[in-house]
């Protein structure tokens, strides 16, 4: 999902006949779409995962994976789930139509197709996709801070883990929790508590790289997902954030209030199995340790020592050893 970018209107055609590729390309020309194609189910699936087109025209009879199986796998994966699929096939029996639609396809067009009808159906599918993206974007935003919410983190983490596995890239996660937040709320009221959360969210956004994903994970908990970053880089980001929060006290009715935050840091390095749950659990354990160690600190899950967690200072000295 990339809601900020204007719709690039990329359409992927998966069909084992080049006659159909050329025909669809010509017939969709006036729609101003970028048409890409693949000849096999495997290649189509890979293409869809890699470039995430805005819609897919999918044949059923393919030389390797059939179209039903391709559709099933597309709908199973977080990163391709919302891409509308239109079956474009010579199979005209009701059973095939029902099966295709029940697998999650939005439409079913029979070959040989009528070009005017195909264009109308493609337009309809793209219209729905745009609304769906907008709706999903709304449902994934945190109202108070404007950061992504926990639902988005779960969704995005699954996709990022797939990418990390496929390309053998690293991926790190920071979990942060405002120290003694209840005290802030109790002493200064919820409105002020909300203000603190907003300010810390800003700090998180400011320190995040463009590719990082900043989320409000819960009440006073934050998460920062760092694609392609290893544990050492993530630890540094956490420490920088911790210092930034510590260095910006709040002022209220002539009083200065110091707010601090603790972080747990984990990465996919040495993680087994690599799942949403296992990575979050790792970061959560590190965060718990940071709280136990007295708060206002960063604790790190050490990748090459299973179960080992250490402070930022120890981690730095280990690195320099």
Q: How many residues in the shown chain lie near another protein by CB under 8 A?
A: 18
The strand pair at 107-110 and 85-89 is best described as parallel
Matching residue, tokens 């990339």? 2
- DSSP reduced 3-state for 183: helix
CA–CA gap between residue 3 and residue 134 (Å, rounded) = 7
Q: Is 117 in the site for another protein (CB under 8 A)?
A: no
Is 220 a catalytic site residue?
A: yes
Residue placing its CB nearer to another protein in the complex, 24 or 300: 24
- In the complex, the smallest distance separating the C-beta of residue 92 from another protein, rounded to whole angstroms, is 9
Q: Which of 68, 113, 148, 312 binds another protein (CB under 8 A)?
A: 113
Residue 110 DSSP SS3: strand
Binding another protein by CB under 8 A: which of 9, 89, 185, 262?
Answer: 89
Q: Which of 34, 90, 163, 202 binds another protein (CB under 8 A)?
A: 90
In the complex, the smallest distance separating the C-beta of residue 98 from another protein, rounded to whole angstroms, is 19
**Prior bond of 150 cis (ω within 30°):** no
Q: Considering the complex, what minimum distance in angstroms separates the CB of residue 57 from another protein?
A: 12
* Eight-state DSSP code of residue 165: H
The DSSP code sequence of 51-106 is: H--SEEEE-S--SSS-HHHHHHHHHHSTTTTTS-EEEEES---HHHHHHHHHTT-S
Q: Find the binding residues for another protein in span 17-46 (CB under 8 A).
A: 17, 19-20, 22-23, 26-27, 29
Cβ 114 vs Cβ 159: under 8 Å: no
Smallest distance from another protein to CB 9, Å: 19
Residues 245-274, one symbol each (x = binds another protein by CB under 8 A, - = not), give ------------------------------
Active-site option among 220, 239, 277, 292 = 220
Q: Classify strands 10-14 and 34-38 as parallel, antiparallel or unpaired.
A: parallel
In the complex, least distance from residue 30 CB atom to another protein, rounded to whole angstroms: 8
Separation of alpha carbons 114 and 104, rounded Å: 23
- Let me know: does 145 contact 219? Beta carbons within 8 Å: no
Contact window for another protein (CB under 8 A) among 33-41, 56-64, 68-76, 290-298: 56-64
We find the least distance from the C-beta atom of residue 91 to another protein, in angstroms, to be: 9
Q: Is 9 left (phi over 0), alpha (psi -120 to 50) or beta?
A: left
CA angle 161, 314, 208 (to 5 degrees): 40
User: What is the distance between the alpha carbons of residues 136 and 104, in angstroms, rounded to a whole number?
Assistant: 17
Which residues of this protein are in contact with another protein, per CB under 8 A? 16-17, 19-20, 22-23, 26-27, 29, 59, 61, 63, 89-90, 111-113, 115
Residues recognised as catalytic = 220
């Amino acid at each position: 999902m990339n809601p900020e970018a204007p719709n690039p209107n990329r359409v992927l055609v998966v069909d084992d006949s080049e006659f159909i590729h050329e025909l669809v390309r010509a017939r969709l020309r006036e729609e101003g779409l970028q048409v890409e194609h693949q000849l096999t189910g495997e290649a189509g699936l890979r293409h869809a995962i890699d470039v995430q087109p805005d819609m897919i025209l999918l044949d059923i009879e393919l030389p390797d994976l059939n179209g039903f199986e391709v559709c099933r796998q597309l709908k199973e994966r977080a990163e391709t789930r919302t891409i509308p699929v239109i079956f474009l096939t010579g199979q005209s029996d009701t059973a095939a139509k029902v099966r295709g639609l029940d697998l999650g396809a939005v439409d079913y067009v029979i070959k040989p197709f009528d070009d005017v009808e195909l264009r109308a159906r493609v337009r309809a599918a793209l219209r729905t996709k745009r609304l769906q993206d907008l709706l999903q974007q709304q449902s994934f935003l945190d109202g108070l801070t404007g950061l992504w919410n926990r639902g988005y983190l779960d969704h995005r983490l699954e996709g990022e883990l797939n990418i990390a596995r496929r390309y053998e890239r690293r991926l790190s996660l920071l979990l942060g929790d405002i120290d003694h937040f209840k005290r802030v709320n109790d002493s200064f009221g919820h409105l002020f508590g909300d203000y603190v959360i907003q300010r810390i969210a800003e700090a998180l956004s400011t320190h995040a790289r463009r590719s990082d994903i900043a989320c409000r994970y819960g009440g006073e908990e934050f998460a920062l997902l760092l694609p392609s970053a290893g544990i050492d880089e993530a630890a540094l980001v956490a420490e920088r954030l911790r210092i930034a929060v510590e260095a910006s006290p709040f002022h209220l009715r002539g009083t200065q209030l110091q707010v601090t935050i603790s972080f747990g840091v984990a990465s996919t390095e040495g993680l087994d199995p690599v799942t949403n749950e296992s990575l979050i659990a790792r970061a959560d354990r590190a965060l718990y340790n940071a709280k136990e160690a007295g708060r206002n600190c960063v604790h790190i899950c050490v990748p090459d020592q299973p179960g080992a967690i250490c402070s930022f200072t120890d981690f730095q000295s280990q690195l320099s050893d």
